[in-house]
Amino acid sequence: MIDFNLLNTEKTIDTLTNPRDLFSALPHKNEKYQYPRDVQAQVWKRWYEKRDDKNIVLKMNTGSGKTVVGLLILKSSLNEKKAPAVYVVPDNFLVQQVIEEATQLGIPVTTNEKSVNFIRGKEILVCNMHKLVNGRSVFGVNEKKIEISTIIIDDAHACIDTVESQFTLKIPNDNQMYNQILNIFLPSIEEQSESKAYELKENQPNAIALVPFWSWKNHLDAIRKIL
């Protein structure tokens, strides 16, 4: 026997845009999600009022259910035809946590950026920051680029650290390249601080010196050849 009321409900969850109403309408969510927490409802309300702003920062305490908040916001955005939608976390362990939570809520998600349902706005892509910011351009370039319409970056501080590490190259001071690069920049470092230059030449622990941007610019070709 077909439950037509359930069919109508499933159609509704693809049209509702208010996250609070959408949460209540989810037909297959786990029993533990019968009611949203007060803080979740408050955040959804404030976000919904500002949802057309380009950038929104949400601050929630650990353990307050921010993953549920983020998933419902993305599902709400998809229902407003703001697709594709991406949920970004710092590492793969958290990717699995988000997928498990989405499964318990009954919200379709994927880890495949090439998924047809993701591109069509039928699934939320869950990925780590390494996939979003990397040298391989997994979301494409130029005419083949996937234009992300809605994105949530969970634990932004940790993700920023990841982005910084993606653009950081570390060379040990016992490596030949280190000495070659140091010799290039020593004159400009000495102009700023002779003591810093001396510490670097002597390989003193914790010696730190900033290279002037004009020196980087003037020696880019030489640095590229060394690397």
| pLDDT score, position 2 | 54
Question: pLDDT tens digits for the chain (227 residues)?
Answer: 555 555 555 558 899 999 999 999 999 999 999 899 999 999 999 999 999 999 999 999 988 999 999 999 999 999 999 999 999 999 999 999 999 999 999 999 999 999 999 999 999 999 999 888 876 667 776 667 788 999 999 999 899 888 888 888 899 988 999 999 999 999 999 998 899 889 998 888 888 898 989 999 999 999 999 99
Q: What are phi and psi of 23, to 5 degrees?
A: -60, -45
pTM equals 0.78
| pLDDT score, position 146 | 83
| pLDDT score, position 1 | 52
Q: What is the 3-class SS of the chain, one letter each residue?
A: CCCHHHHHHHHHCCCCCCHHHHHHHCCCCCHHHCCCCHHHHHHHHHHHHCCCCCCCCCCCCCCCCHHHHHHHHHHHHHHCCCCCEEEEECCHHHHHHHHHHHHHHCCCEECCCCCHHHHHCCCEEEEEHHHHCCCCCCCCCHHHCCCCCEEEECCHHHHHHHHHHHCCCCCCCCCHHHHHHHHHHHHHHHHHCHHHHHHHHCCCCCCCCCCCHHHHHHCHHHHHHHC
| pLDDT score, position 162 | 85
List domains and CATH numbers for the chain: 4-166 (3.40.50), 176-226 (no CATH)
Encoded tokens for 9: 């409900």
